[in-house]
Chains A and B, each alone.
Chain A
Amino acid sequence: MARSRVVLSAAMVTAAALAVPLHAPPHAQEAGHVKVARGTVQIERAGQKTPAAVGAAVQAGDVVSTGPDGSVGITFLDNSLLSAGPNSVLAVDRFAFDSTTHQGSFESSLRTGTLAVVSGKLAKQSPEAMKVKTPAAVLGVRGTEFLVRTGDPKKD
């Protein structure tokens, strides 16, 4: 009896181990890397917040946030540069880039705060490929450098 229980729990452990990949985000894919991190910077991935250091990978689906003393600069695989000032929340909604054809798409949302953008190869290849959203607006990017501030002024 005890023995069969051991076998059973071993089987369950194996099943759990096999099930793990199913819990991974379906489109987890490297999108870029943190190159500048000052003050408090966090990356939220699958509900977990971790401090972001220089060199940390950013994936599609990540939400990058900065504290009152924080700022962050990210270089994406298509050479787009996104950098956020203090009290900012930036979501990388979608990122796909084919390094041979330069096709794909890049969508991000600044939920609050300030953002400086230099668009990269995706926007150059196709003007539809890059979009930046805020709670109030959608930006179409025909290249190349622009600034975004959004948020509730009463909070500032």
Chain B
Amino acid sequence: METNKNFVIGVYSDPDQVVKAAEKIIGSGIKIHEVYSPFPIHGIDEVLGYKRSKLPIIAFLFGAMGTILALLMQFWMLGVDWPMIIGGKNFASLPPFIPVTFELTVLLSALGMVGTFMIISDLKPYKKPRLFDIRITDDKHVIAIDEAKNEMDFNKIKSVLEDTGAEEINKKNFE
């Protein structure tokens, strides 16, 4: 069977119940495709085994790049390329360059991190999302299980989901 096409979904209302249900489902040997919810559920990432995001590191690297570029730009422009006498002061000195350096550090760090987030999460204006249930953005949480990646048949998965207190259990097929 093809993967990423045929899913079994369990629908829940309570975020704490979702965490418990996910633990139980994984405990019974079923692989969860993903959990979808209208707001972040705390603790679900650990249950699903997601590692901490590396975005803070990305933000730091972009920030460091901003600092270096800003300093190079200012020292090169006013110190090397075209030195100007302004009020009889040094052509280039560090203290007056700090504000612009700080601002460019923050700017590159923020834009770099958000850009990375958009790319790795595949967020773009022309993307049509795959919605497992239209109520995900309203008040329901969904645990999606890819049938092709599990050896159990639908009825078995269904009975496990029923045990966890799912309100509804549906099949969802994407063409």
Same assembly: no
